[in-house]
Amino acid sequence: MITFYGASWCGDCRRSKRLLDELAVTYTYIDVEKDASAAKKAVEINGGAQRIPVIVFPDQTHLTEPSDPALRAKLAELNII
């Protein structure tokens, strides 16, 4: 399962969500503005950096603020697309 930590005001989040949706990738979206514990978890995943989106993959790796090509490459690497 892919977990996506983001916020509605975040342009990079909207872009990454749009790509995942266009590719018909299933993911769980967690709004860090509405869930303080999720915001804390996203910062923890990032080694203390307060940056979103944070996208966690089934192999427990993650990407933070990925470009579309980087996100697409990771999905291909994991045979998700």
Supply the angle between the helices 68-77 and 11-22 in degrees, to the nearest 10.
40
Q: Quote the pLDDT of residue 21.
A: 98
CB 71 within 8 Å of CB 63: yes
What is the number of domains present in the chain? 1
Whether residue 53 has a cis bond before it, omega within 30° of 0: yes
Report the CATH number that the domain containing residue 51 is assigned in CATH.
3.40.30.10
Which letter, b or e, does each residue of 22-46 get, where b requires 16 or more Cβ atoms within 10 Å of its Cβ? eeebebeebbbeeeeebbebbbebb
In this prediction the pTM is 0.95
Q: What domain range includes position 72?
A: 2-77
Q: Quote the pLDDT of residue 20.
A: 98
Q: Quote the pLDDT of residue 12.
A: 97
pLDDT in 10s for each residue of the chain, 81 residues: 999 999 999 999 999 999 999 999 999 999 999 999 999 999 999 999 999 999 999 999 999 999 999 999 999 999 999
Q: Quote the pLDDT of residue 52.
A: 97
